Amino acid sequence: MKKPSLEPVRLRVVYRGAALPGWGGGPDDFGVQDKSNGLCAGAVGEGGSVIFDLSVEVKPGSASAPVFVGPLAHGPPTERFLYLSWRNAAGAYARRLKLPLGSIAWTDIAAARLADQPLVAELIDLPKVTSTGAHIGGMRRVVWERP
């Protein structure tokens, strides 16, 4: 049986958020997490935003939906997501947000490739802290815009 070919897909995440309360990390401690716990740093953009330009690979899934693979794609095949992560001074994760990839369709991928542009998601985030001082992470719904 022939293995499906993998094709790269360019993604851009624009993070517009307030500072993480009480977080003591620096620019190297905030980024898109890969499977080896490394962080892909972003670039400072307009208005203090942070822009992450990424590449993931995609292959056909069993239900004709794209399945994202590679070091940045986390979770089960039908529920892949990116982790946007903050590490504290000790190297432990202070906060992680899941940015789902499941809303991206083959038509979105084709349009981005045709335009030679990334699919773009903007995240406006106002970090919250629990009464114990823990940072609230979890899933953040984003809309992946095509060019």
pLDDT, averaged across the chain: 88
- Condensed to tens digits (0 to 9), the pLDDT of residues 18-58 reads 777 777 777 789 999 999 999 999 999 999 899 999 999 99
* pTM to 2 decimal places: 0.89
Q: Which of 9, 42, 6 is nearest to 109 (CA)?
A: 9
Other CB atoms within 10 Å distance of the CB of residue 138: 8
Distance between CA atoms of residues 122 and 124, nearest Å: 7
Distance between CA atoms of residues 131 and 78, nearest Å: 34
